[in-house]
Each structure stands twice: as C-alpha cells, then as structure tokens.
Amino acid sequence: MKSTGTSGQGEVAGHRQPRTAVVMNEHAWSNGFGAVQQQRLRAVADLGGYGCVSSPDQLPKDWLQVVEVLITGWGAPQLTHHVLDATPRLRLVAHAAGSVKAIATPECLDRGIIVTSAAAANAIPVAEFTFAAVIMAAKRVFSTIETFRAQRTTKTRPTALASAYGRTVGIIGFSRIGRRVVALLRNLGVNVLVADPYADRHDVHDAGAALVELDDLLRRADIVSVHAPATPATRHMLDAERLALIPDAGTVINTARGSLIEPAALERECVSGRLSAILDVTEPEPLPPGSPLWDLPNVTLTPHLAGAQTTEVRRLADAALDELAAFARGEAPVHPVPLDELDRLA
C-alpha cells in the first residue's frame, strides 16, 4: 500500500470528506491518477492514510467498516457478498473505467449502493478512433499501404469507392459511443443509418441519422460500425446471413466486443475479398496465430486500443473524482449505472 499522506476525517470547502478506499490494479492507478488527480483525491476524500490496493482484503477491517466510497478501476474484484459485508457503510462505488459488469452485482442494488461509471469519458477516445477508422476505410488507406510500399508509385491508388463523401455509414447501437460517432460524422458528408431496438426515432433524427432495422442498415451501408453491448441476445448478431447482406466492397469496423460478430463467417467474407474489416476486438482476443486474418491486406487488426490509453485514462479518473465530489456535497451522481438493467448494458 502506498501512503497518500492524508488521514483523519476533515472538511473541504465546507463539505465532509467521505471515508474512501481506492481499489484497482497498479497499472490502472499509475495511468489514471497522475499528480493532479491524486491532489484532487486527497482534497475531497479521507483515505485513512492508505493508498491504492488491488483488493479490499488488503485494508484493515476496522477501516473497511467505516468506508463509504470505493473508487474502483481495472483489476478491482467483484462486489460479492464477502466484500459488501466487510463494508457495511458503503454507499457509492465510483468506477474509474467503462463497463461495471466485472464488479457490479445485483446485491449492490439490494443494499442501496450507487454504482457510477466513467463510460461516458471512455466513449470519447473510442468514438474518435471509430471516426478515424471510417475515414481510413472510405479512402481504402489500409488496403492500399502494402501495394504502395511494394510499387512505390503514386499510381498505386484505389480506382473505385475510395472516398467518404456521399457514402452510407451504418452504426449498430445508439450507445454513448454510437451517439458520439454519429455526431462526429455529421460534417463528413456521409449518410448515417442507426440500428438499435431501444433508440428513440426522434433522438436519432435530431442527431443527424435515420433509425432503421438492422437488416435494412446492412443492405444499404458501405461501412458498418458496431457499438452494441455484449449480451446473450447480441452474441454473433452479425452472423453469416447478416454479413452477406452488406454490399460488396463493404467494410466492418468493430470497436465494441468480438462476440458480436461470428468469427468464422467474418473470416470467410474477408478471405474471399468481398468484405474488409478493421477490428480492434475479436473472438477470441487475440486471434490464434494461425488465423488468416493476420495476413490479409483487407483486414486491419489493432490490440484493443480504441478505448482510453495512458493519458486518456486520466479523463476516466477525473470522472470518478467528479462523482466523489458530488457525493461529498450531498448531490446526485452524474453517471449512475441502472443496476436493474445490467443484463443489457455494455
């Protein structure tokens, strides 16, 4: 445990400092909590003199008995009966990462514990990555690189469908990330379609897109980007039948979860050359060394880096600290997670 140099119950700007424990792995702590974030944390919270730990079990039992807030992140354990029994005064879990599925349990809801997420902050880099991928896909940049390197002449240019303007982009999932991607695409001169059974047609229209059925989107989109949550209902939602609906020379972008696309079906489409793909996530992750997708010129694989990386992680830490500060002021949480909908959340 690292000492944070603070202890004792105090007051900051007229507000009580909640007793707080920071639980995440060392990598998440060092990336997310720079000097500014640590200063914010010490100003708002009573840490009891303890630093970041990877498990509540590493903290003294008498401190856990009075902890009101957990700041969690990647590597934090699931909030099981054991953890919650050890923290009877726990009222807020501020997750300095995206999905809370790895830590949240229905028992948190039963005990009236608020769980918040920094998913909105993590949506920013994912949307930016996706926007860049749409442009690269439209211009056929990645599939042209190797040929250009070999021929070393500007005559190495795609002859068809090598532009973004006037093309149709399909966004599967009007999630936090999907909404941001739609917003970024507004000035690109593309037609944007959205498929999401839970989206409101007027909200999608106001965002600058059209809400359509999934199969209709696939038939019309030149570029398909996946932003749906990984649930039993969405597993392999893009199977062989649906991938076949995408027009020839189309591109599939996946920055969500690999399980949303049937691996064998996508492999067949890409090996044949009919479709291209930009995949930040796969099933399995990473792909087996022998997968043909590694070597295809029409497939770009990245190692799950669309989400917050290095300095971007501090944006997530700041989001969690915002929740802590709101709690200290007695205000409502900024981004509470609807724990009764965990089964359909990302």
- Catalytic residues, which ones? 257, 285, 304
DSSP codes of every residue in 213-236? -HHHHHHH-SEEEE-----TTTTT
**SS3 of residue 330 by DSSP:** coil
Residue 111: both structure tokens together: 């005990």
Contacting residues for 198 by C-beta, under 8 A, at least 6 apart: 174
286 prior amide bond cis, ω within 30: yes
Pairing state between β 11-12 and 15-16: antiparallel
Contacting residues for 245 by C-beta, under 8 A, at least 6 apart: 215, 218, 219
Contacting residues for 325 by C-beta, under 8 A, at least 6 apart: 40, 44
Longest dimension (CA), the chain: 72
**Residue 279 host element (H or E):** strand 276-279
Contacting residues for 41 by C-beta, under 8 A, at least 6 apart: 4, 20, 22, 33, 47, 71, 321, 324
